[in-house]
Amino acid sequence: MPATANPTPLRAPLNLGEFGKQKLSFSKTWYNLFSWLEYSVLGDVFCFPCRHFALGSYMDSAFVGSVFSNWKHALQQLRDHEITECHLKTAE
């Protein structure tokens, strides 16, 4: 990924999505819990340091290069991501 001119996470307007019979989507309150969180206009969620600084096998991790869509368990997955080796190394 090329270097970014903006050294802070992108915080696009929220797109609400419907997944099956439930309306599940990104919650802007997560920005307060996870300062590293990015949300794109396409509805994708990323980890700012991991997306910009992860190398090798980490590039396919959730919140790095793959599309995230498990909104039902998103909060737990965000918490789990914070303690991954990828995140700990890139967020130093």
In the predicted structure, residue 44 carries a pLDDT above the cut 90: no
Report phi then psi at 24, rounded to 5: -115, 140
Percent of the chain with pLDDT over 70: 67
pTM over 0.85: no
Domain boundaries, the chain: 30-90
Residue 48 bridge partners (DSSP): none
pLDDT in tens, 3-43: 555 677 766 655 555 445 566 677 888 889 999 998 877 77
